[in-house]
Chains A and B, each alone.
Chain A
Amino acid sequence: MRRYTLSAAAIVVLTAVAAPYTHAQDTTHRGVHIGLQYRQGTRPGVVVLPMLGVGGDSAQAVIQRDLDYGDRLTIIANVGSIGTSTANVNYPIFAKLGAAAIVQGFLGPTTLHVLVHDVGGQKILATRDFAVPPQVNTPEWRFAIHAASDEIEKSITGTRGVSATRVLFVRDGQIFVCDADGYGAKALTPKEGALSPAWHPSGRYIAYSVFTKAGTEIVVQDLTNGGTRHLVATPGGLNSAPVFTPDGKWLVYAHGDEVGTDLFAANPFSNDPARRITVGHGTDNTQPTFSPDGQQIAFTSGRSGHPEIYITDFDGTNAELLTPFEFGGEFYREGPDWSPDGRSVAFGSWIGGIFQVETISLRDRSIKQLTSEGRNEDPSYAPDSRHVVFTSTRSGVHQLWVLDVESGRVRQLTFGSEARLAAWSRALVP
């Protein structure tokens, strides 16, 4: 039988509504525990009770699915309506069902009131009020519920969820966006051969490339009003694979002309000339991704004869090979994405003629293969560094799938027309 305890300090922190979460995701410090204590590698059971109020059933369904997709908790569903009032929660019954935590919700016209119970401790773990739009089941309402889910997950596990995030992708030559649970897919751009979407860290802007008569250009789009501007720092030729720096001040991208394709940095909001980063001497250097501190870039380069992943400082110095170079055979590694915790880089690797997603640890350079079914490429990390969205052909056509790196669980994110080139946002709710 698992035993869950709760430190007194945690209750104080969690019941202080709107208190800043200064403990971040680190639960290892002695005496400062957030959430339940449970053995590593286990997934505590949680019951999300039917929620009272108009739209309560929808809220319950969304939160339950969010906690399930978080892969840190085991959902105990269909327990009926036992103990839906705050008073006299029958903890022993929930303990018998295998629940370590219970989530209760009361949906008012503009507020979702949430109580999280610690079943083992037989007490309330957290109480939170979340502002929600009055119109139930609108995209904005769903997103407000996602934000609540993420805080509930943090209350229970100590780690904030990633439901209140979005994923950009390419479909039919357009940039699309959907919520992290796959809902609300919609086009953000006209059909103009758009590729390589990327998020500004604020979530307000996106960047992508489009084919034009003057070459391939990079567009920066303001999601608040749809306004666009074309980057003119390196006119003509190829301009592709944009990413914003973690501080949002620079756009780094691949510019190709008669002297090869190299990484450049430009101010996304001005017409200042660009600064060259890599010197590839006529080779292909593209697909930049930043370390979380913004100091280093991992990128794909063919400088040694075939594509491999390299790392360079932002100023272009100290370029070195990251993935192990092997002579002979057909090796091909590309499409890196640096995990937000800084610990690893995910990339596509040609294994036996088929691309698979792998990760390389920045600590010991150990490589782990994450996928094996179908062709899998273009990974992008969620803010929790635990989930990865990637393009897979496992369903027969290109669709986006989400993998929990720790448990190996996968779910299909997109359906319908083919989807590819995903970019997972950072947390979109402060």
Chain B
Amino acid sequence: MTRVSRVVPLSLILSAAAIAAAACGGSKPTPAPTPAAASNTPSGPNTDSLDQARRDSIARAQRIADSLRAEQDRLAAGVAAARNTITAMIYFDLDKSDLTDQDKASLDQKIPILNANAGLRIRVAGNCDERGSDEYNLALGQRRAEAVVKSLTLLGVKPTQLEATSFGKERPAVPGENEEAWAKNRRAELMAAQ
């Protein structure tokens, strides 16, 4: 997963942030008043009330800071969710490019994000496990990428937003010569195109 998130450029994160913000009902957090304004009162006869005012001011600032932080967390979660939705991998069976129901459900979730961000261009990279030759696997990877692109365009995503490519078996997600590793490497990765 770290591999994928590294290649997602800022534009995707920003646009995803916009979606997340929109999803929060558009209520922008109000700017916090400066706590200094309250605590800056010159010293008077009633030190108790002054202390109380200072404590109130600090507590108020704390509440505002907490709500800001919560809002940021919600935004970040929205960005992460959008990014994860877009980059969720599609996995395949050996020598196959058929999409499973699970894959189709995963692709369905990508569609509103792609449609809401017309400027977002996605490169779909087909990959294979390490068995078989580099060249046949390049063709197989292309077939997998094209299957994903075809599925998305049939469901209304603009073809200009998608680009199919293949890395064959050149860029495995995980090392290893066992079914567990192979299954993780037979995949289509979606990432923001440069």
Contacts and interface: CB of A to CB of B under 8 A. Distances in A.
Nearest to A193: B170
A216 B135 contact: no
A240 B131 CA distance: 18
B149 A258 contact: yes
B150 interface: yes
A290 B134 CA distance: 19
B136 A238 contact: no
Given A211-B167, A215-B165, A258-B164, A237 B142 contact: yes
B138 interface: yes
Contacts of B166: 216, 238, 256
Contacts of A195: 134-135, 138, 168, 170
A284 B132 contact: no
Interface in B152-168: 164-168
A206 to B, nearest CB: 16
B187 interface: no
A261 B140 CA distance: 9
A241 B167 CA distance: 13
A377 B134 CA distance: 10
Interface stretch (A22-30, A107-115, A180-188, A300-308): A300-308
B95 A256 contact: no
Contacts of A213: 194
Given A256-B143, A302-B95, A306-B95, A334 B164 contact: no
Contact of A196 (B135, B146, B164, B194): B135
B139 interface: yes
B134 A284 contact: no
Main secondary structure of the interface of A (DSSP, over half): strand
Contacts of B133: 287, 300, 334-335, 348, 377-378
Contacts of A306: 95
Given A258-B150, A332-B132, A284 B165 contact: no
Given A216-B165, A421-B134, A254 B95 contact: no
B139 A196 contact: no
Contacts of B149: 258
Contacts of A286: 135-136, 138-139
Contacts of B135: 195-196, 240-241, 254, 286-287, 300, 334-335
Contact of A284 (B143, B150, B164): B143
A203 interface: no
A420 interface: yes
A335 B133 CA distance: 7
B95 A332 contact: yes
Which range holds the interface residue count of chain B?
20 to 34
A256 B142 contact: yes
Contact of B146 (A170, A216, A240, A257): A257
Nearest to A261: B139
Given A193-B170, A332-B95, A260 B134 contact: no
Interface string B164-194: 1111101000000000000000000000001
A287 B136 contact: yes
Interface in A247-265: 254, 256-258, 260-261
For chain A, the bracket of interface size reads: 35 or more
Contacts of A211: 167, 170
Contacts of B95: 302, 306-307, 332
Contacts of A258: 146, 149-150, 164
A77 B149 CA distance: 64
A348 B133 CA distance: 8
Contacts of A237: 142, 164-165
A79 B42 CA distance: 110
Nearest to A173: B170
A83 B139 CA distance: 61
Contact of B142 (A238, A348, A421): A238
A359 interface: no
Nearest to A262: B139
A302 B132 CA distance: 13
Contact of B132 (A196, A240, A334, A420): A334
Interface in A15-72: none
A238 B146 CA distance: 11
Interface in A273-318: 282, 284-287, 300, 302, 306-307
A350 to B, nearest CB: 8
Interface string B109-140: 00000000000000000000001111110111
Nearest to B130: A375
Nearest to A238: B142
Nearest to A283: B143
29 contacts: A170-B134, A195-B135, A195-B168, A211-B167, A211-B170, A216-B166, A237-B142, A237-B164, A238-B139, A238-B142, A238-B165, A256-B142, A256-B146, A260-B143, A261-B142, A282-B143, A284-B136, A284-B140, A285-B139, A286-B136, A286-B139, A287-B136, A300-B133, A302-B136, A302-B140, A332-B95, A334-B133, A334-B135, A348-B133
Interface of A: 170, 193, 195-196, 209, 211, 213, 215-216, 237-238, 240-241, 254, 256-258, 260-261, 282, 284-287, 300, 302, 306-307, 332, 334-335, 348, 350, 355, 377-378, 420-421
Interface of B: 95, 131-136, 138-140, 142-143, 146, 149-150, 164-168, 170, 194
Given A211-B167, A216-B166, A284-B142, 6 more contacts: A238-B142, A256-B139, A258-B150, A261-B139, A334-B135, A335-B133
- Counting from the closest, the 10 A-B pairs by CB-CB distance are A284-B139, A256-B142, A261-B139, A241-B135, A238-B142, A335-B133, A286-B139, A334-B136, A240-B138, A258-B146
